[in-house]
């Protein structure tokens, strides 16, 4: 569905998106960064740290894309990773209980923060035939984690390590390493287990995907994925543009006065 059109900042969807952008800027997490593109309020990019040891993703910095539907938050976002992980296929929508592939399990009370916490938590689980998921050896995943910091997003024009360095600075400005209260809702965990069981029981495990074969052979690289930007951009009101510009620059945290 096209999202082209004039949007009012009083529109419930726009208000919700701006609220989430503001909350993520004012309560930054050391584990992830997320913000909408300045040119499209409905396309967000995120960078997350891999789960801690003993996870093979420890030390990894992974970049991805979120597309919000026009009916957000009544309908769930879609997610894809742009950085090679060894867990999710590159630049392919992933099937999780928080994504557009499972509208029946999505709850409007959840948001971008909840989704990122869940994705990070689910990285260490088995792909199990999951759409957009893949299996790779621990060695391959560790190698990809080590390479991931230098991956640079064409749309953001920054490497993952730069994005998270700025995020660390934002966290320090807000009082150190205190994290917001972040847990994966139990309903979300249950839905994930049910969806995974369904994927495992629907058919025999398919032949390894091209991405998995490339990973196992060591040919997966940290090259930028194609088609990063959304094909249709939403028209953003000037008020929303102002918030986004200052959100990207940390202005929401500094609470600079708004121009008249």
pLDDT digits (tens, 9 = 90+) for 48-59: 999 999 999 999
> In this predicted model, what pLDDT tens digit does every residue of 110-128 receive, in sequence order?
999 999 999 999 899 888 7
CA 9 to each of CA 39, 85, 116, 235, 239: distance values in angstroms, whole numbers, following the listed order? 15, 36, 25, 11, 7
13 vs 248, more confident: 13
Token code pair at residue 150: 């230098």
Tell which wins on pLDDT, 125 or 213.
125
For residue 163, what are the contacts with CB-CB under 8 A and spacing of at least 6? 33, 47, 61, 63, 156
59 or 207: which carries more pLDDT confidence?
59
CA distance linking residue 151 with residue 140, whole number of Å:
16
Residue corresponding to tokens 């726009």: 14
Residue 39 sits in which domain range? 1-176
**Residue environment code for 218-256, b if the CB has 16+ CB neighbours within 10 A, otherwise e:** eebeeeebeebebeeebebbeebeebbebbbeebbbeee
Residue 174, pLDDT above cutoff 80 = yes
Rounded CA separation 133/65 (Å): 16
Nearest CA to 156 out of 225, 59, 88 is that of 225
Catalytic site residue from 61, 95, 170, 188: 95
Mean pLDDT on 136-144:
97
Distance, CA of 140 to chain centre: 22
CB 161 within 8 A of CB 150: yes
Asked whether residue 206 is assigned to any structural domain, the reply reads no
**Tokens matching residue 177:** 């390493």
pLDDT at 245 over 70: no
Residue 160 maps to a domain? yes
- Average per-residue pLDDT for the chain: 77
Choose between 95 and 226: higher pLDDT: 95
Tokens of 227: 């088609």
Instruction: Examine residue 54 and state whether it is found in any structural domain, yes or no.
Output: yes
Position 235 scores a pLDDT of: 47
Active site residue 95: yes
pLDDT in the model for residue 135 = 93
Instruction: With both helix axes pointing from N to C terminus, report the angle between 210-217 and 138-148 in degrees, rounded to the nearest 10.
Output: 90
CA dihedral 114, 120, 122, 127 (to 10 degrees): 130
Answer whether the bond into residue 73 is a cis peptide, omega within 30°. Answer: yes
The tally of domains found in the chain comes to 1
CATH of the domain at 158: 3.10.110.10
Given this model, what pLDDT does residue 130 score?
A: 77
pLDDT band with cut points at 50, 70 and 90 for residue 238: low
- Residues β-bridged to residue 67: 43, 78
pLDDT at 105: 83
Q: Residue 146: pLDDT above 70?
A: yes
The angle, 0 to 180 degrees and rounded to 10, between the axes of the packed helices 186-202 and 112-122 is 50
Assess if residue 125 is contained within a domain.
yes
Q: Is residue 2 part of a domain?
A: yes
Please indicate, yes or no, if residue 245 is contained in any of the structural domains.
no
Q: Give domain status of residue 99, yes or no.
A: yes
What is the C-alpha separation between 27 and 24, in angstroms, rounded? 5
What is the H or E stretch that residue 155 is in?
none
Among residues of the chain, what percentage have pLDDT more than 90?
53
> What does the pLDDT read at residue 231?
34
**Inside any domain, residue 191:** no
**Which residues on adjacent β-strands are paired with residue 61?**
49
């Amino acid at each position: 569905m096209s999202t082209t059109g004039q949007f009012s900042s009083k529109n419930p969807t726009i208000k919700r998106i701006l609220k989430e952008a503001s909350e993520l800027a004012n309560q930054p997490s050391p584990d992830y960064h997320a913000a909408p593109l300045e040119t499209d309020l409905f396309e967000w990019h995120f960078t997350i740290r891999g789960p801690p040891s003993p996870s093979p993703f420890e030390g990894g910095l992974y970049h991805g894309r979120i597309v919000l539907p026009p009916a957000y938050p009544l309908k769930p976002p879609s997610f894809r990773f742009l950085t090679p992980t060894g867990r999710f296929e590159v630049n392919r929508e992933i099937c999780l209980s928080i994504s557009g592939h499972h509208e029946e399990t999505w709850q409007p009370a959840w948001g971008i923060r909840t989704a990122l916490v869940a994705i990070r938590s689910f990285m260490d689980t088995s792909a199990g035939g999951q759409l957009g998921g893949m299996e790779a050896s621990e060695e391959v995943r560790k190698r990809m984690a080590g390479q991931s910091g230098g991956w640079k997003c064409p749309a953001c024009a920054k490497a993952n390590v730069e994005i998270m360095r700025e995020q660390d600075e934002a966290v320090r400005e807000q009082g150190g390493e205190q994290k917001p209260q972040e847990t994966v809702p139990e309903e979300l965990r249950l839905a994930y287990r049910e969806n995974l069981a369904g994927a495992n029981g629907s058919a025999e495990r398919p032949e390894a995907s091209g991405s998995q074969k490339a990973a196992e052979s060591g040919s997966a690289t940290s090259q930028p994925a194609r088609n990063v930007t959304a094909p249709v951009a939403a028209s953003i009101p000037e008020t929303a543009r102002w918030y986004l510009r200052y959100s990207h620059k940390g202005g929401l945290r500094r609470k600079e006065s708004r121009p008249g």
